[in-house]
Amino acid sequence: MFMKSKNVLYFTQREEEFADLLTRIGTKRNVSKVLVYLANTPEATSRDIERGTDLRQPEVSIAMTAMMEQKWVKSRENKAENKGRPVKIYKLALPISEIMDNIEREKRAEADNQLKMIKQLRDYITE
């Protein structure tokens, strides 16, 4: 997967499809887009992510919070060139393959739980 670069990375059709699949399996849309974006760049500022994913700042912020809770992302601060507040720079804390393993484990557990509840429902019917 390679993104077209023009200072800021933009999604290719393949990356759009990857993010869409993540969303369809239950990952929040913002998280899907940011995850795919960061999987294809060593690190990025929040502003880069906003532009590259076509998300607004609050959407990126919410996605980052969710991804940090999962320990999928880490950040560092970089002094701003002018006197403004420091710029946060984000990168994946784990390889994308490990994150996908985490998602798969979570989805398997959810499916197992759903099947267990269906079995319980069937037990009510047969009693």
Span 80-126, pLDDT tens digits: 777 778 888 999 999 999 999 999 999 999 999 999 999 999 999 98
9 pLDDT above the threshold of 80: no
pLDDT tens for 76-86 read 988 877 777 88
User: Higher pLDDT residue, 80 or 48?
Assistant: 48
pLDDT of residue 6: 42
Structural domains of the chain, ranges and CATH numbers in brackets: 4-94 (1.10.10.10)
Q: What's the 3-state SS for 15-83? A: HHHHHHHHHHCCCCHHHHHHHHHHHCCCCEEHHHHHHHHCCCHHHHHHHHHHHHHCCCEEEEEECCCCC
pLDDT of residue 7: 54
Check: CB of residue 7 under 8 Å from CB of residue 55: no
